[in-house]
Amino acid sequence: MHEEKVDIKTPEYVSLQFQTAGLGSRAAAFLIDQVLLTIINILVVLGLVWIMNLQTENPFVEAQAFHSGTLAIAVVALFVINWGYFLAYEFFSGGRTLGKKLIGIRVIQDNGQSITLLSSFIRNLMRIIDMLPAYYFVGMLMVFFHEKHKRLGDITAGTIVVHERRKKKAKKKSSIEKVIESRGLSKDSFDIEEGALKSLGAKEWKLLKTYSQRFTGVERNQRLVLTRKVAEIILPKIGMEVERQTEEELENILLVLYLKLKDEWEFEL
């Protein structure tokens, strides 16, 4: 089933774009939920049988009356579990049941806000109709043909099922970025005049880039020699003296220059 994107305007007049969940993803989530509910139902029935057998052996309890009462309680309990599961889970878990979480979909309101208790109550109450005549036939037809893949419960409650927005994975820091961060350096760590920076071009950027790439891959003594050589080429061009700086200061200056030139030259070469 083709899944489409829908634009939703929030009460704050912010336009958000979501991908609607189609029949396939919704059915997969529902099957997972049903497996969980089936296991719970089986455990409830087994517990009921165990209680009934236990009480049958008790001569002081009238078996027939007890069994009738126990069965009535069990029927009510099963109804509450099977219907209340979706109501409670969706409301307290931000529109996600276990199945929806695993598939990566959720229920939200048509205005983009989180589902309310009332809207969850209405959409799940309408399952009684969506389930007709069997196996959610009405619900599946509605989801398949509706332009926003809504079943009757969604239309009535003003809700829509969408795919979760995937969080962008944080880019893994390079070794030189880790060194720069550990030293507390940034582009603003040293004041260098804009005119002086203009004297550094593509040739100097390539040199600084090569220096940063080799910085963590060589031994300390080799790095000190490399730092001194690169500094003697670059620093005079921005009006800085090499002799007055310690080795660590030279490293820090070159690393800050690398950060300053990175934004300008990294994607232009």
Chain-wide mean pLDDT for the chain? 85
pLDDT in tens, 169-221: 667 888 888 999 998 998 888 887 777 877 888 888 889 999 999 998 889 89
> ∠ at Cα 174 (168, 175), nearest 5°?
150
For the ranges 2-16, 112-126, 186-200, the one whose mean pLDDT is highest: 112-126
Task: Label residue 126 by pLDDT band (50, 70, 90).
Answer: very high
Contact 13, 153 (CB under 8 A): no
Q: Kindly report which listed range (57-71, 114-128, 161-175, 203-217) carries the lowest average pLDDT score.
A: 57-71
The answer to whether residue 18 scores a pLDDT higher than 50 is yes
DSSP string, 7-69: EEE-TTS-EEEEEBP-HHHHHHHHHHHHHHHHHHHHHHHHHHHHHHHHHHT-TTS-HHHHHHH
pLDDT in tens, 229-244: 999 999 998 888 888 8
Which residue from 103, 109, 102 is spatially nearest to 161, judged by alpha carbons? 109
Query: In the numeric block, which tokens belong to residue 118?
Result: 């009332």
- Tell me the average pLDDT across 69-75: 78
Q: At what angle do helices 117-125 and 63-92 cross, to 10 degrees?
A: 130
The answer to whether residue 36 scores a pLDDT higher than 60 is yes
Phi, then psi, of 171 in degrees rounded to 5: -65, 135
